[in-house]
Structure 1
Amino acid sequence: MKLAVYQGTGDFLDKMANLARMDRLAATAVRQGASLLMLPEIYLSGYNLGDDCARMAEPADGASAREAARIAKHHGIALLYGYAERDGDAIYNSILLVGADGKPLANYRKVHLFGPEEKRLFEPGKDYVMATLNGLTIGLAICYDVEFPEFIRTLALKGADLIAVPTCLTPPYWEIPTSILRARAYENQIFLAYANHSGAERELSYIGMSAIVGPDGKDIQRAGSEGEALLVAEIDPAAYAESRALNTYLADRRPALYGAVAAAGATTTQSPPQKRTAIARRQRRRR
């Protein structure tokens, strides 16, 4: 399966303009042979919503989802995009996967919310979400989720071939799309696709560096830190049979020894109070 990953600067708070861009990108991706187009976190309205979040949020089957379904069916390509999801009084940071026939395949709500602003605006998700597309099992994650090795390992153990990670990442966290992303792919023997914004929204700027990484931990495609890009790559697990034979992490696990890692009451090392205060001041800038 060919995957297309989009990086770019959207039209902030303009869902119709972003849907029109999705339409154009879908056409371009199809011409390059892609059967799935992946877009960044909260692509639909822009990420840095603040108090505009409530009015930008809409249901998983709302007007924008219906237009995305039309685009997918018209071009014959599956779509994966981020949006602010309203469900009753709750709002979630979500991604929707729509099949090439326009039918919804999966909706995932971000489990690991970052910082006080995300926790103010959104409710956390509670479930792992996976879907099958063109014979591949796709695990869904959003931004901060990929920084939790337990979360990505669980998706791999559930059978994910590819983990799709729409994201909104800002300076100075350059090691996440490089070192961490490559490590997650390598240690789990999976493909990882990472779609970031570029440019700026209000006071936030984004670092780009979108990527498609193979199970050998090497970049298949990588965008720069600025500007628009459409990465297209073949996702073929069979091509990495040698890598999987050499790196037998999943087979060599000893889970009986790891219980403390997932225990709810596990001891954590806290930053000193003064450092936590400084971190809290910076959290609004992160994502």
Structure 2
Amino acid sequence: MRIACWQPDWVAGRSHHDDFLSRLTEVAAAASGAGASLLVTPEMSATGYHLGRARTVELAQPADGPLTAAVAAIAARHGLAIVYGWPERAGDTVHNSVHLVDADGTVTARYRKTHLYGEIDRSVFTAGDDLVVQAKLGGLTVGLLVCYDIEFPETVRAHTLAGTELLVVPTALVRPWEFVARTLVPARAFESQLFIAYVNWHSPSPDGYCGLSTVVGPDGAARARQSGPLLIADLDRDALTAARRVTPYLADRRPGLYGGAR
């Protein structure tokens, strides 16, 4: 399966909400033209992330709102599955959520960020309670996490044990935490032996988004190449089989010794 990852530039003062759909249409066309069957975008790609409580609540929409319908139409028009993030309104609460929309415009998975990062998350969002959310796509089992979630080894291992083969992680990682993208994400893919697509924003400011979007294989090696505005990666289940044969962490586990950490 070929996937495309979009790392948009964050421009302070620009309303990313207003032009998201037009930009997504352009990027979806490029991804489809490159032969990708899945396009992954960053955390809160529909609105931007560091917005504060008032603006985030103002932009929040329900899971079946007009934003979902618009993204579904783009996916169907280009025959391309899309992962995007937005503030999801659910009654009196707001979640940091992502949708996986299939190539026919059907929403096949919704994930609500389960591990909230500091006051920037806790002052706005309510944590989700369903850790392993999956869907089938292109012959692979795809799972979803968001940003800080992947910094807990238990989350990735839970996905692997549940059969996830490609873990998609929209993120909003800022400097000076480049270590997460450069070291921790490849380690997670290697130790839990699955593909990870980790997709970030980019900003040139010293404390802004650090970019470093990547697609990592179960051997810990990067798989993506640059193609215009996108990173493109080809994923093959044979690589999963080979990695698990060479380094049989999953087969050699002894969960009976781990107590509560299973």
8 Å CA contact 1:10–1:18 kept in 2: the answer is no
The residue number in structure 2 matching 1:239 is 239
1:61 aligned residue = 64
Q: TM-score, normalised by structure 1?
A: 0.86
> 2: distance between equivalents of 1:18 and 1:200?
20
CA distance in structure 2 between the aligned counterparts of 1:31 and 1:123, rounded to whole angstroms:
38
Query: Would you say 1:109 and 2:112 are equivalent positions?
Result: yes
Q: Secondary structure at the match of 1:207?
A: coil
1:241-268 superposed Cα distances (whole Å, 9 cap, x missing partner): 3222111001111111112437xxxxxx
Instruction: From 186, 189, 194, give the equivalent of 1:185.
Output: 189
Deviation at 1:62, TM superposition (A): 0.8
Partner of 2:133: 129
In structure 2, distance between residues paired with 1:222 and 1:91? 35
**What residue number does 1:44 align with?**
46
Aligned residue in 1 for 2:79: 76
Structure 1 residue identity aligned to 2:250: L
The separation in 2 between residues aligned to 1:222 and 1:32, in whole angstroms, is 12
Change (3 A) 1:200 1:89: farther
For 2:174 and 2:33, locate their aligned partners in 1 and report how far apart those are by CA, in whole Å. Answer: 31
2:29 counterpart residue number: 27
Whether contact under 8 Å (1:39, 1:166) holds in the other structure is: yes
Instruction: Name which one, 1 or 2, has greater alpha-carbon Rg.
Output: 1
Structure 1 gaps, min length 5: 263-287
The 1-side partners of 2:87 and 2:208 are apart by: 19
Residue 3 of structure 1 corresponds to which residue in structure 2? Answer: 3
Q: Secondary structure at the match of 2:89?
A: strand
Q: Deviations over 1:178-221 (max 9, x none)?
A: 110010000111000000000179x9610000000011001112
**Structure 1 match to 2:163:** 159
Partners of 1:116 and 1:200 in 2: how far apart? 24
Q: Matches of 2:95 and 2:159 in 1, distance apart?
A: 20
Q: Where does 1:132-143 land on structure 2 (aligned, <5 Å)?
A: 132-143=136-147
Alignment partners' CA distance in 2, 1:41 and 1:239: 27
8 A Cα contact 2:175 2:207, kept in partner: no
Paired with 1:16 and 1:75, the residues of 2 have a C-alpha distance of: 21
CA contact 1:7–1:39 (8 Å) conserved in 2: yes
Give the deviation of 1:239 after TM superposition.
Answer: 3.3
Whichever residue aligns with residue 46 of structure 1, its letter is G
Equivalent residue, structure 1, for 2:152: 148
Give the partner amino acid of 2:65. G
Partner of 1:196: 200
The one-letter amino acid of 1:23's match is: T
**Local SS of the residue matching 2:154:** helix
Residues in 2 aligned to 1:239 and 1:113: alpha-carbon distance in whole angstroms: 32
Runs of 4+ aligned residues of structure 1 deviating over 3 Å after TM superposition are 10-14
In 2, the alpha carbon distance for the partners of 1:222 and 1:49 equals: 31
Change (3 A) 1:240 1:14: closer
- Over 3 Å counting, the alpha-carbon distance change for 1:10 and 1:124 in structure 2 is same
Single out whichever of 191-200 and 28-37 deviates more from structure 2.
Answer: 191-200
- Give the whole-Å Cα distance in 2 for the aligned partners of 1:254 and 1:58: 44
1:270 aligns with: none
Other structure's SS at 2:123 match: helix
The match for 1:88 is 91
- Matched residue SS, 1:216: coil
**Aligned counterpart, 1:283:** none
Q: Is the 8 A contact 2:82 2:100 kept in 1?
A: yes
| Contact preservation (8 Å) 1:57, 1:86 | yes
| Conserved 8 A contact 1:13-1:56 | no
Does the 8 Å CA contact 1:37/1:77 hold for their aligned counterparts? yes
Give 3-state SS (helix, strand or coil) of 2:224's partner. strand
Percent sequence identity is: 43
TM-score (norm 2): 0.94
Amino acid at match of 1:123: T
Secondary structure of 2:83's match?
A: strand
Q: Distance in 1 between matches of 2:239 and 2:86?
A: 33
